[in-house]
Amino acid sequence: MGKVAKRDALGQVELENLVSLALGEAQRLGVDEAEVSASLDKGLSATARLGEVESLEYTNDRGISITVFKEQRKGSASTSDLSPDAVREAVAKAVSFANLTAQDEYAGLAQADRMCREVPNLDLDHPWDIDADTAIAMAIESEAAGLGHDERVSNSEGATVATNRGTWAYGNTHDFVGSYTRTSHSITCVLLAEADGLMQRDYHYAAARCADDMEDAAEVGRLAGEKTAARLGARKIETTRAPVLYIPELARGFIGHAMSAISGGAQYRKASFLLDAVGEQLFPAFVDILERPHLPRGMASRPYDSEGVATYDRDIVVNGELQGYILSSYSARRLGLETTANAGGAQNLVVPGGGKDRDALIADMGTGLVVTELIGHGVNGVTGDYSRGAVGFWVERGELAYPVHEVTIAGNLRELYQRIAAIGDDQDLRSGIRCGSILVEEMTITGA
C-alpha cells in the first residue's frame, strides 16, 4: 500500500499498519474492494459547579472498522480490540456478512483517480498541555467570573473545560493509506439568573483547534454572565409579522437546513424541499455559500473525505443560485453524478458577509426580533415548513428594547431564504459553518 501521510504524531504508524493489515487480509479472502478506517482519541474533560468539582473524565478510545464489497454485496464489521488477531477476525466477519446481503448496483469505493495522493498540512494538531488540576482550576475560574458579573446571576449549571486529540487513519484497495491528527478544545459556562421570582438561563462557549485561539476561561464566564443577566425581565409579545435577525450561532443552523436538503441522501430518496434544485435561485443574488476544506485550523478542515477522496474548494451557491449537491460516491452514483468529496459531510462552509456588523443590522431592521436561542426541532426537511420556539430581544427604533420569551417564529424555508435582507460580517468560527448574523426581512412571530 502507498503511504501518503507523515507519521510522526499520535498513533499514526500503528493505525496505518493496522489499516494495511486489514486491507491485505480482505484481499486474501477474495473481496473485490475494501476500505478500512481506524481511530485513536484521547481526551480530558473537567466540570465545576458552584466552585466544586462535579465531574472529571478521561477518555482513551480506539477502534477499527472494515467494509468489504464482493459482487456488489457489502459487509461491515468493527472492533475496539486492535490486536492483529482481532483485526483479522473482524475482516472475516465483514466478508461473511457480504455473502449474506443483497446486491446493490451502486455499492463500492469512490473512483481510484479521485484519491488524495498528497496530504496538505492543515495545521489541525495543537495539543493543549493541561492536566486535571489545571482544567479544574480553569473551570472554577470561568464559573466564578460569570457569577461575579451580576449579583442576580446566582446559580450555575457548571463550567466545563475539555480537550481532545485524535488520529484518524483510512485506507482502501485503491492503494491508498493515509492518516492525520487533529485536536479540539473548548470552554463552556452555563449560568442561571433570577429576578422578581423568574429565572433565566444562558451560556457562552469558546472552541478551537488551538487553545491560543480561544477566549480565556474568565472571559467565557464573564460573557455567559452578561448574556444571562440580559435575559432577565423577559416579556411576551403579541403575534405579528416583523423582521427577524439570527445571531451567528443560530444563523449557521438556518443555512444548515438548506445544506441538509441538498445532500445526496435527501436527493436520491426524494425527501427534500430542495429536490432537483440545481440551477435555481434559492437565495438573493448577494448570497454565496463556499466550501473551503483546507482552511488552516478550520473546525471542519479535512485533506480528504471519509472515502479517501481529495477535498477541494468549491462554490455551492453563487449569486444566490445553487451550483451542485453535497455528494458521497454512493449518493452520486444513485443520482448519475460524481462525488463532490463530501462523504461524511461538508467541510468549512463559508457565507461571506455584506460589510455590516450586528449593530448595523439591528439599526437597519428598525422594529423586529433578534433571536438568541431556538427551542424545539420544528423543521420539516421534506416540505421546508419551519416553526421554532424562540428567545431573544425585541427591537424598536433600531435598538434593543427588552428581552422576550415564549414566542414562535415560522414560515417556509424556501420563502424565508428569498427574504434574507442582509448577512453580517460577525462570522462565528467555532463550527464548520462560518456565517455572520442573518437578517430576514419578515417572518411570522407568534406570541401571547
Buried residues in 342-352 as b, exposed as e (16+ CB within 10 A):
bbebbbbbbbb
CA dist 322 and 138 (Å) reads 45
pLDDT in tens, the chain (448 residues): 333 334 455 689 999 999 999 999 999 999 999 999 999 999 999 999 999 999 999 999 999 999 999 999 999 999 999 999 999 999 999 999 999 999 999 999 999 999 999 889 999 999 999 999 999 999 999 999 999 999 999 999 999 999 999 999 999 999 999 999 999 999 999 999 999 889 999 999 999 999 999 999 999 999 999 999 999 999 999 999 999 999 999 999 999 999 999 999 999 999 999 999 999 999 999 999 999 999 999 999 999 999 999 999 999 999 999 999 999 999 999 999 999 999 999 999 999 998 899 999 999 999 999 999 999 888 999 999 999 999 999 999 999 999 999 999 999 999 999 999 999 999 999 999 999 999 999 999 998 6
Query: Angle formed by the axes of helices 217-230 and 132-147, to 10°?
Result: 30
Using DSSP bridges, classify how beta strands 385-396 and 399-412 pair: parallel, antiparallel or unpaired.
antiparallel
Domain of residue 287 covers: 240-446
pTM, whole model, 2 decimals? Answer: 0.93
Q: How many domains does the chain have?
A: 2
Which residue, of 190, 207, 230, is where some domain finishes?
Answer: 230
Same domain, 110 and 244: no
Residue 301 lies in a domain: yes
CA-based angle 305:87:72, to the nearest 5? 55
- Examine the fold and report which residue of 230, 264, 298 is the final residue of a domain before the chain moves on: 230
Q: Are residues 220 and 352 in the same domain?
A: no
- The answer on 353 and 212 residing in a single domain is no
User: Does residue 54 belong to any structural domain of this protein?
Assistant: yes
361 and 225: one domain?
no
Q: Are residues 307 and 222 in the same domain?
A: no
Domain boundary among 230, 254, 271: 230
User: Is residue 315 located within the same domain as residue 419?
Assistant: yes
Same domain, 269 and 177: no
CA-derived radius of gyration, the chain: 24
Q: Are residues 440 and 349 in the same domain?
A: yes
Q: CB–CB of 87/25 below 8 Å?
A: yes
Do 211 and 250 belong together in one domain? no
Q: Same domain for 343 and 259?
A: yes
For residue 273, the tally of other CB atoms under 10 A from its CB is: 21
The neighbouring-strand residues paired with 204 are 189
* Residue 35 included in any domain: yes
Q: Determine the 3-state secondary structure of 188 from DSSP.
A: strand
